[in-house]
Amino acid sequence: MRPRPSWGWQDAAACRGEDLVLFFGPDGERQPEREIRERKAKEICAQCPVRTECLDYAISRPEKYGTWGGLNEDERASERRRRMRRANAA
Residue 12 has pLDDT above 90, yes or no: yes
pTM of the predicted protein model:
0.86
Is 48 annotated among the ligand-binding residues? yes
45 assigned ligand-binding residue: yes
Per-residue pLDDT at 2 exceeds 60: no
What whole-number distance in Å separates Cα of residue 2 and Cα of residue 18? 29
Q: pLDDT, tens digit, for every residue of 15-66?
A: 999 999 999 999 899 999 999 999 999 999 999 999 999 999 999 988 999 9
Residue 70: is its pLDDT beyond 70? Answer: yes
CB contact set of 55 (below 8 Å; sequence gap of 6+): 68, 69, 70, 71, 76, 79
